[in-house]
Structure formats: structure tokens, C-alpha cells
Amino acid sequence: VDGPAKAARGEYCDASKTEFPCAQGKGYYGRGAIQLSWNYNYGPCGRDLNEGDLLATPEKVAQDQVLAFKASFWYWTTNVRSSFKSGFGATIRAVNSRECSGGDSTEKAVNRVRYFQDYCG
């Protein structure tokens, strides 16, 4: 919800990732089924999926439904899949490291576990 506002403040752009520099005026906040975020994810995602320069056009992930899911599958296979066998907490951490590493409230992680348990029930 607050992704565009955070992007306007320069959040979601890690300037130390020089291989994938942020384009001026572009926001790399969460888009897609598994909220693709940060320049260091948009850059390689666009490259690996042959979708062009997603650093220059990150909004394409929100505008193209097929690309939104392709980006989510890319993120899952690149960043999450290897953690899957380690349990649900490890999977949450792989999707959003702030939830299980103390950055965001523990309540968010607890709620995510509850949602998962409700869904499975």
C-alpha cells in the first residue's frame, strides 16, 4: 500500500548494488504475486526472463498479469525454493527477511503463520 511513497523517499533502491543501478524516478517496491521488490531483484529478473530492462520499466510487473506471475515464479525459484524444506519460518524469511529476523514486528510473522494454518485447515 505504501510502496510508492517509500519509493519516492528512495527506499527499495540499494545503491551499493552497482550491477543493477536504480533509474531516476522509478520505484522498485513490491509488485506481483510475491511482491518483487528492490533494484537488485528487478534487474536480474528482467534479464533472466528476457523481459527487457525492468530497472527502466518496473511498472511493467504491475501492468502485465503474465509478467507479474513470471516474476513471482522467478523470485520463488531463485530465492525461496531452497529454503522450503527447512520449514515455514525459513520460507517466510526467504520471502521477507524482515519478518523473521526482527526488522518488522513479530506479530506480522505470527499472523502469517496463523493465515497459513487457517488456509490449510
pLDDT band of residue 22 (cuts 50, 70, 90) is: very high
Please indicate, yes or no, whether residues 38 and 64 belong to a single structural domain of this protein. yes
Any alpha helices (H) in the chain, and if so which ranges? Answer: 3-8, 39-48, 60-63, 65-75, 88-95, 106-120
Categorize the per-residue pLDDT at 119 as very low, low, confident or very high, splitting at 50, 70 and 90: confident
Residues 68 and 53 in one domain: yes
Q: Is residue 8 located within the same domain as residue 66?
A: yes
Amino acid occupying residue 96:
N
Higher-confidence residue: 89 or 81?
81
Residue 107 has pLDDT above 90, yes or no: no
> Nearest to residue 30, comparing CAs of 78, 71, 87?
71
Q: 68 and 39 in one domain?
A: yes
For residues 92 and 40, membership in a common domain is answered with no
Whether the model clears a pTM of 0.85, i.e. scores above it, the answer is no
- Better pLDDT: 99 or 2: 2
The string of pLDDT tens digits covering residues 52-66 is 999 999 999 999 999
Domain holding 93, by residue range, is: 87-120
* Pair 39, 58 in one domain: yes
